[in-house]
């Protein structure tokens, strides 16, 4: 699979979103299914503003989606996004020596 410049940008944004322990904890919680933001806040003992920031980063990276139900927001994983990251890493394959030099 050839990775385009746009794909690289998307992948970089997604991997950057995973570079924070709180965001990794959010993803781990969402592995069990959709969660209400109030449950995430309680489990992570996080201030609402801090949690909103982390959820926005994950949403903008395409790793989670949300839906509104009354005054509550519910979040879920976007499995296709995670699968594309796995595929991209698999495409890198093992390093066997220089490819572009020498």
| 79-98 per-position pLDDT tens digit | 999 888 888 877 766 666 66
Structural domain of residue 82, as residue ranges? 9-89
Which residues does residue 59 pair with via DSSP β-bridges, in sequence order?
none
**Does residue 3 lie within any of the structural domains?**
no
- Rounded to 5°, angle at Cα 84 from 81 and 41: 30
Q: Let me know if residue 32 belongs to a domain.
A: yes
Q: Is the pLDDT of residue 1 over 60?
A: no
Coil, strand or helix: which one is 70? coil
Within-domain flag for 60: yes
Q: Quick check: is 98 in a domain?
A: no
Distance CA 55, CA 60 (A): 8
In a domain, 26, yes or no: yes
* Residue 94 maps to a domain: no
SS3 category, 101: coil
In this structure, is residue 30 part of a structural domain? Answer: yes
Q: In this structure, what CATH number is given to the domain that contains residue 64?
A: 1.10.10.10
DSSP letter (8 states) at residue 33: S
Element holding 14 (H helix, E strand): helix 5-17
Neighbours of 73 (CB within 10 A): 16
Q: How confident is the model at residue 63 (pLDDT cuts 50, 70, 90)?
A: very high
The residue with greater pLDDT, 2 or 9, is 9
On whether residue 25 sits in a domain, the answer given is: yes
Domains contained in the chain, number:
1
Percent of the chain whose predicted confidence (pLDDT) is above 70:
87
Contact of 68 with 34, CB cutoff 8 Å? no
């Amino acid at each position: 699979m050839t990775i385009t410049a746009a794909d690289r940008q998307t992948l970089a944004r997604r991997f950057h979103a995973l570079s924070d322990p709180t965001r990794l904890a959010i993803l781990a919680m969402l592995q069990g299914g959709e969660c209400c933001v109030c449950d995430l806040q309680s489990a992570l003992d996080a201030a609402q503003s801090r949690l909103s920031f982390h959820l926005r980063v994950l949403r903008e990276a395409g790793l989670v989606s949300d839906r509104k139900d009354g005054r509550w927001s519910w979040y879920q994983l976007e499995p296709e996004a995670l699968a594309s990251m796995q595929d991209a890493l698999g495409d890198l394959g093992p390093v066997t020596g220089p490819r572009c030099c020498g």
